[in-house]
Amino acid sequence: MKLELLDLTSISRSADTVQCDISLWNPETLMRVGWIRSGALCMSYHQNLHTWEVGCRLIEGVTDEEHDSSWAFRFTAVGVWTTGVYNGCCTFEGWLGGEAEDFRVPTTTLMPKLEPCSSCAKNGNPHNIARYLPEPNPELWEQVRGWRFEVSVHTPSRKDLDLWWKRVVEQETSS
Ligand SMILES: [Zn+2]
């Protein structure tokens, strides 16, 4: 199965100010493949399990039905270390670990669905709701479990801003 490039910047947190790019090393071809692009990264260490939780939340205000912040993607990692900080760009590497159940990465055909919260809309406080986590993705998990990844965290590059701007202008002129 060909790995999809998953661009979550339009639905993930703070993507206008911080960008996260995750790539994977295919252990058979030894080639690096681009995987996920998103906004603000979250990485937290579980001391008891010696694992990391890596992910990015959906845009500000998007919650699950119980009003907890929802995730655009989240997965478990092991063996995470810092490989460098260069001009403010921080890079980390690690391996995809945990269980199939922890692997919550959407696909381009199954992106998180955002819907208005009806109760808050009635109270004049509109916001969107989505599942707390994307559905498990056992098919992709079987393909990439144990693969080494690299995360880089940086400000959105000029080129990306230009592309984003071009899209905004096209939308404005077509509406
Ligand atoms: Zn609500």
Condensed to tens digits (0 to 9), the pLDDT of residues 145-174 reads 999 999 989 888 656 545 644 554 554 444
Distance (Å) from CA 118 to ligand 1 centroid: 7
Distance (Å) from CA 61 to ligand 1 centroid: 9
Which residues make Cβ contacts (< 8 Å) with residue 120, sequence separation at least 6? 126, 127
- Answer whether residue 50 is part of any domain: yes
Residue 170 token pair:
């096209």
Distance (Å) from CA 67 to ligand 1 centroid: 6
- Answer whether residue 116 is part of any domain: yes
Q: Percent of the chain having pLDDT more than 70?
A: 89
pLDDT at residue number 172: 40
Distance (Å) from CA 123 to ligand 1 centroid: 9
Task: Give the tens place of pLDDT for each residue, 85-128.
Answer: 877 788 999 999 999 999 999 998 889 999 999 999 999 999 99
Distance (Å) from CA 73 to ligand 1 centroid: 21
| Summary mean pLDDT of the chain | 89
Domain count for the chain, please give it: 1
pLDDT at residue number 158: 57
Q: What is the pLDDT confidence band of residue 83, given thresholds at 50, 70 and 90?
A: very high
Residue 68 has pLDDT above 80, yes or no: yes
C-beta of residue 132 within 8 angstroms of C-beta of residue 71 = yes
Distance (Å) from CA 54 to ligand 1 centroid: 26
- Answer whether residue 1 is part of any domain: no
Residue 2 has pLDDT above 80, yes or no: no
Q: Percent of the chain having pLDDT more than 90?
A: 69
Distance (Å) from CA 128 to ligand 1 centroid: 7
Q: What is the pLDDT confidence band of residue 54, given thresholds at 50, 70 and 90?
A: very high
Distance (Å) from CA 175 to ligand 1 centroid: 30
C-beta of residue 36 within 8 angstroms of C-beta of residue 22 = yes
Average pLDDT over residues 25-53: 92
Distance (Å) from CA 131 to ligand 1 centroid: 13
Predicted structure pTM score: 0.87
Note down the domain range covering 145. Answer: 6-174
pLDDT at residue number 31: 79
- Answer whether residue 58 is part of any domain: yes
CA–CA separation, 114 and 128 (whole Å): 6
- Answer whether residue 15 is part of any domain: yes
